[in-house]
Structure 1
Amino acid sequence: MKVRYKGESSPLGLLDGKVYEVLSVEKDWYRVVDETEEDYLYPPECFDIVEPNDGSTPTSD
């Protein structure tokens, strides 16, 4: 799954508007490799899904 981060940019974290690959979903949080090139868990409300796992197109609200 690919997601777009929506929040304050940080060179040691995530960048606003950047698309990230979700490595796994753990207890409803997304495991993402951030700008430090390490993977961490982030809450899903920080992201918009741009490419779901099933290959379907995401719907907009």
Structure 2
Amino acid sequence: MKVRWKGKTDFLVLTHDKVYAVLAVEKGWYRIVDDSGEDYLYPPEQFEVVEE
């Protein structure tokens, strides 16, 4: 699945309107490799699904 970040740009974390690949869904949260190159869990309400 691919999602677009709707929040504000946060340096080396997430970029506004950038599309990220979801590696997994864990307890309802998205595991995403962010701009730092590391993978973390993020709440889905902050993203828009662009590809299932």
> Which of the five TM-score ranges fits, normalised by the shorter chain?
over 0.9
1:2 aligns with 2:2: yes
After the TM superposition, which segments of 4 or more aligned residues of structure 1 sit over 4 Å from their partners? none
- Higher relative contact order (Cα pairs below 8 Å, separated by 6+ residues): 2
Partner SS for 1:45: helix
Q: How far apart, CA to CA, are the structure 2 residues paired with 1:45 and 1:12?
A: 20
Q: How far apart, CA to CA, are the structure 2 residues paired with 1:44 and 1:21?
A: 13
- The offset of 1:26, in angstroms, is 0.1
Partner SS for 2:7: coil
Aligned to 2:43: 43
- The offset of 1:34, in angstroms, is 0.4
Q: Which runs of 5+ in 1 are unaligned?
A: 53-61
Among the aligned pairs, what percent are the same residue?
62
Q: How far apart, CA to CA, are the structure 2 residues paired with 1:48 and 1:12?
A: 20
Aligned to 1:14: 14
